[in-house]
A = this chain, B = another copy of it.
Amino acid sequence: MVRLMPRPGAASAEAGNVSIAAVARQAGVSVATVSRVLNGQAVVKAETRDKVMAAVEVLGYRMNHLARNLRTAASRLLLTMVPDVGNPFYAEIVRGIDSVARQHGYFVLLCDTGADPGRERSYFDLLRTRRADGAICLDPDTVQHALAEESASLPWVACCEFDPAVPVPYVGIDNRAAAAEAVNHLLAQGHRDIALINSDERFLYARQRRQGYRDALADAGLRLHPEWQLTVQSLDFAAGAAAAAQLMALPEPPTAIFAVSDTLAIGVLRGLRDVGRRVPDDVAVIGFDDIAIAAQIDPPLTTILQPMRELGETAARLLLQRLAEPGAVVPGMLLPHRLIRRASG
């Protein structure tokens, strides 16, 4: 007879090492019965149930989910891939995802990809190897694209960013229309010289918002000034400040600036202040997202509200739906945005 092999990891003898077999022994029943009681599906006599529950109590038993998951091939973990956890926009979406996930008994595995395809791929492997049941991806559609081909059958959904050509459920907003609305608002204030501070065009939203900006100007019969269209590589404050400084250094500086994210816009405000321009008197500024801080700063930021919480909640629900019925149709949803007028423009 081969002797027992000690388990490498769990050395100590503290609680938590109690298995279902120990409970069965203590209660004087079989493991199957214990499992039935614990999962509460099958019929078990009340008396037996009580014995089992008592044994659970006495031993301080807690289920080993690894074992359960191995057998049921489910981890009850939802992967969430975001380009940047520190960005308040994403943080709020993550909250929405988290709340829906928890309501349904799932935990969220939050991964910061830095919009890096390599990291994203390694996280996706968690899905392939079933360490996670499903995934929500907020990364640039361009990096999704590469993955989509090899992972079309995996249970994941896209949030904010998506490639309409890829058959994956998604939720987002109409970025083109929203951007046009922002620019139209500036036009309505009498501005004609409107700059765009756009982010990395690997992002779908960046390309769509640029289009909205161009459409709005074209509709107003205005020509595009290439030097008023800037692209920055990150969404942080410094990038916005630098872009603002660059615009103000132009021979013909714009009188209004549309920044595609509130973080950029806040940086813009700072950059304008640094070069002595007043907002909104000298230059009007409009942002995008309506993160919480936007209403707090001086001057309060005019912006386009994205329903961040709902975006997250919807993405989670879409994913849960897809997990429940794998064969179902894949809806793509657009949520409404809204212009929030404040003092900055």
Residues in A lying within 8 Å of B, measured CB to CB: 7-12, 14-16, 62-67, 69-75, 77, 85-86, 88, 91-92, 94-95, 98, 107-112, 125-126, 128-131, 153, 236-237, 241, 266-267, 269-270, 273, 292-293, 295-298, 326
Contact = CB atoms under 8 A, between A and B. Distances in A.
A298 B297 contact: yes
A237 B63 CA distance: 42
Nearest to A122: B102
Contacts of A237: 292-293, 295-296
Given A125-B62, A296-B270, A297-B298, A98 B112 contact: yes
Number of copies of chain A assembled together:
2
A129 B64 contact: yes
A284 B77 CA distance: 47
18 contacts: A7-B73, A10-B130, A64-B129, A65-B126, A66-B70, A66-B130, A70-B70, A85-B110, A86-B88, A86-B91, A86-B292, A108-B109, A108-B111, A266-B296, A269-B298, A270-B296, A297-B298, A298-B298
A95 B73 contact: no
Main secondary structure of the interface of A (DSSP, over half): mixed
Given A15-B128, A66-B69, A237-B293, 8 more contacts: A16-B130, A62-B129, A64-B130, A85-B91, A108-B111, A237-B295, A269-B298, A297-B297
A77 B111 CA distance: 12
A270 B70 CA distance: 53
B85 A131 contact: no
Nearest to A112: B98
Pick the 5 closest A-B CB pairs, nearest first.
A9-B73, A110-B110, A66-B70, A86-B91, A237-B296
Nearest to A293: B293
A98 B16 CA distance: 27
Given A64-B130, A66-B131, A73-B9, A108 B107 contact: no
A85 B74 contact: no
Contacts of A270: 296-298
A338 to B, nearest CB: 20
A149 to B, nearest CB: 13
A12 B129 contact: no
B9 A72 contact: yes
Given A10-B73, A129-B64, A130-B66, A95 B91 contact: no
Contacts of A11: 326
A114 to B, nearest CB: 10
A70 to B, nearest CB: 4
A295 B297 CA distance: 12
Q: Which of A75, A86, A92, A292 has the most CB of B within 10 A?
A: A86
Contacts of A131: 65-66
